[in-house]
Structure 1
């Protein structure tokens, strides 16, 4: 099966082109040449292959590719030589590879230099990123020991033929700083590093320290990207910091973007050293998602406690909220009118929020579940809220009138299933429009609850029906109301969809 790839226009956020390489393994890392070569190739790394594509050409085959040997490891970083697009370098945690592309013959060859701790009789550390030196014929590799490995690119002997490779050899190990280097890049006449302490340092071409930013208390740096526009000082109004040289000249460098390991993105305006948080994304898995009933909005909740509401038509987020440490979002649901949003959390907490501002509707969150709240749903009239947790328990909440105001209140809970609850949903009776509550579990039981006679700490079962003999039910939805009867659709592990009468619970 192929792994689809696409190139996007960053300002409009639209895809420019799309292709599907027919490799059995996924793409590990990708890089595109910059503004100097706008129509030149794109290079990407599946797990064991390096491919160069002419991404502006409609084709299903790369311009060239080369298979990597197993001992090369997983190459998770790759970059073109900005001065010669026919040269590339990539690295895994332990192995650097240098590539030369013979464009005329469509051949990509690589050199695999040897480097061990015996090479310099010192600990080298795991590689993070590598770049080409912008002055000399060298390559620099950053390590998690705070060191730089300097590789010399030796030209081949005078008897050079097209079959001979450029020789590459580790010539120097520079202990740059005490903290592990996570990012290594270059801008103008500086090398730039980011480290595990969130510090950013600038070095000249001789690797002498020029300036650093350590005051922002950031998480480990994962990405640095500098503005494509050159810096233009504004006369005497400029407020650049002084560099660390003896003259103390103003340190002028382009504005840049910082990405950190906790999924945050910052913009640093260097004139005035102004750091602005521009984006917060989930640093952990996303477990909850729900669409607004009539607006083009989608709510997304993550295990790190980040809740975001996006406009999926405009491709922009509307509002977000970060919950306190330890509160991981496990389930989300809008009510039918779309003005409420319910959220269930991994430690059993339930929040009811305003869907526009994400502020709490209840004075305080509810905590009646002993484990993760896996399902949450509102009734059609938004008077009830029901949840299901990992301990096979269903809990019900209701709006009541207190002191002339409508407030949410916990009603009751019941340990109704013996295995995981797969679906939980409200409905209405056809004859009297009373609210119904049903749950479906992996124990093959379809349970309806006596919601009308439910009161404080008392929830009873109205009826129980077995849906399958051998197959396990996966999910349940209401059949569209296109007939006089009311039906339930249940899908099971036997690849079957069953239609049940919602009143008699008989399979049609």
Structure 2
């Protein structure tokens, strides 16, 4: 189990002049300055502790500089930072509100070094304070030499300081995705999940890898340097004694939304978090407890306690994505519809399947719902079909079986809705489609493989209905509410189907 810590913002910059969104951000080593780059190529430096709401300095990048998606300060000089796009690297010096004349950009081509350079991933300033490095998709490091000596901010020259790409070092065949500098070594991460450490001359020190780790997106190092005497006895792998890194553990995140903690004294990779790596299309709240179930297209199902923001339990279904979720009214069961047409019914607490999965739909399941008495479960799919499952007794125990299905619409179904018959307290099932048809089913008369329809009513003439729900019962008359693509909501009597 794990929990999310709640943080309170100490400063919010509302006028960031980034109407198109901030695509890169960094904070200086002394924590005084922020740099932001917007999608509209606006670069701003902020003294974030000031309440003026205006940047300390800013500049507009030329369109040919490309989409700058990474930026980082020089740890030894907050008046320097570097950013890069996939094809351009830009170095900056700033001393005033205008830093337009302090920008130097480079575009490297195969002709520059007579070799394939690849696309840029991340850039860093070398700890020797005379060089910078940029990782590439070809597994190379571009080495930049800074010729001008360092000076105090008030002594910075008026022209951009000289930066020259002096060489390209072939580090490996795999693409480099992450580049970080520590006090006396350089770390890289790549698409194969490997983390490598190098000294200042780019000589390999050690490698950490695991076959379960995907392409690395970020690396975060511990601030506590562990003493060598604390290494685990009999550890299978540790850093060489001459490595200046010592026993500095780190956390890495991957492109498949997984985080690992890596203990450098034992080379142990511990998975600490797995999140959805594809779109989250399904969410359901428990009817009684502060629980929320979340399902994604990568097949990950997770349950959270949302008052304490605490993760409780999860399951992964690699074969198909989760499209829809629903708790039963008592909160004992959780049903899920998948992109391959399958339907699962779980215990709501443990997420263990209470029966074999159903494979009655030939298309992705889009809607799923329980009846008020948890006696029926209904689904809708992309083939315009409604399918009903029924809870039955077998050998003295409750189980679920497929009752019947029907292609009841000729356009996509936008909602299925269980209700209650006012005269009998029996479940009532409705479905609404983009064909403007409201279909009502007779569950009591339905038998195995035969779903009975009692009414078909056309609700709209020109507009397309998009969803429906029950209106709160405020009188003896009952209603349901619909919304359409003309931004209108309509109230219908549940008996006459007449619009109020």
Same fold, TM-score > 0.5, yes or no: yes
Distance (whole Å) between structure 1 residues aligned to residue 441 and residue 168 of structure 2:
71
Counterpart of 1:214 in structure 2 is 209
Counterpart of 2:374 in structure 1 is 382
* Greater RCO, CA 8 A, separation 6+: 2
Asked whether 1:319 is paired with 2:317, we answer no
Aligned residue among 353, 357, 360 for 1:365: 357
Structure 1, residues 354-392: CA drift from partner, whole Å, max 9, x if none?
Answer: 111111121x10000000000000111111100000010
Structure 1, residues 393-420: CA drift from partner, whole Å, max 9, x if none?
Answer: 0000010000000001110000000111
Change (3 A) 1:398 1:56: farther
Indicate if the aligned counterparts of 1:156 and 1:165 stay in contact, CA closer than 8 A.
Answer: no
Three-state SS of the structure 1 residue aligned to 2:438 is strand
Q: Report the alpha carbon displacement of residue 211 of structure 1 after superposing the two structures with TM.
A: 0.7
Counterpart of 1:339 in structure 2 is 332
Counterpart of 1:421 in structure 2 is 413
Counterpart of 1:4 in structure 2 is none
Question: 5 Å matches for 1:370-449?
Answer: 370-449=362-441
Counterpart of 1:241 in structure 2 is 237
Distance (whole Å) between structure 1 residues aligned to residue 141 and residue 167 of structure 2:
8
Change (3 A) 1:157 1:292: closer
Asked whether 1:194 is paired with 2:193, we answer no
Distance (whole Å) between structure 2 residues aligned to residue 507 and residue 397 of structure 1:
31
Change (3 A) 1:58 1:403: farther
Change (3 A) 1:478 1:110: same
Change (3 A) 1:226 1:157: closer
Three-state SS of the structure 1 residue aligned to 2:224 is coil
Change (3 A) 1:215 1:308: closer
Counterpart of 2:109 in structure 1 is 116
Q: Report the alpha carbon displacement of residue 216 of structure 1 after superposing the two structures with TM.
A: 4.3
Three-state SS of the structure 2 residue aligned to 1:338 is coil
Distance (whole Å) between structure 1 residues aligned to residue 310 and residue 320 of structure 2:
25
Counterpart of 1:87 in structure 2 is 80
Deviates more, 1:390-399 or 1:179-188: 179-188
Indicate if the aligned counterparts of 1:31 and 1:44 stay in contact, CA closer than 8 A.
Answer: yes
Three-state SS of the structure 2 residue aligned to 1:75 is coil
Counterpart of 1:309 in structure 2 is 303
Indicate if the aligned counterparts of 1:241 and 1:251 stay in contact, CA closer than 8 A.
Answer: no
Distance (whole Å) between structure 2 residues aligned to residue 405 and residue 236 of structure 1:
55
Counterpart of 1:486 in structure 2 is 478
Distance (whole Å) between structure 2 residues aligned to residue 403 and residue 19 of structure 1:
65
Counterpart of 1:278 in structure 2 is 272
Change (3 A) 1:312 1:61: farther
Asked whether 1:172 is paired with 2:167, we answer yes
Counterpart of 2:492 in structure 1 is 500
Show structure 2 runs of 5+ residues with no match: none
Change (3 A) 1:353 1:70: same
Indicate if the aligned counterparts of 1:447 and 1:464 stay in contact, CA closer than 8 A.
Answer: yes
Change (3 A) 1:235 1:501: closer
Show structure 1 runs of 5+ residues with no match: 1-9
Q: Paired residues, what number? A: 490
Change (3 A) 1:482 1:242: closer
Aligned residue among 124, 140, 157 for 2:133: 140
Change (3 A) 1:70 1:492: same
Indicate if the aligned counterparts of 2:126 and 2:133 stay in contact, CA closer than 8 A.
Answer: yes
Structure 1, residues 177-197: CA drift from partner, whole Å, max 9, x if none?
Answer: 121111111223110011111
Asked whether 1:455 is paired with 2:447, we answer yes
Counterpart of 2:457 in structure 1 is 465
Three-state SS of the structure 1 residue aligned to 2:447 is coil
Change (3 A) 1:235 1:344: closer
Indicate if the aligned counterparts of 2:57 and 2:97 stay in contact, CA closer than 8 A.
Answer: no
Counterpart of 1:6 in structure 2 is none
Distance (whole Å) between structure 1 residues aligned to residue 291 and residue 50 of structure 2:
36
Asked whether 1:230 is paired with 2:222, we answer no
Deviates more, 1:364-373 or 1:63-72: 63-72
Aligned residue among 120, 126, 144 for 1:127: 120
Structure 1, residues 119-175: CA drift from partner, whole Å, max 9, x if none?
Answer: 1111101111110000141110001111100011121899x8743111211011111
Aligned residue among 69, 82, 97 for 1:76: 69
Counterpart of 2:250 in structure 1 is 256
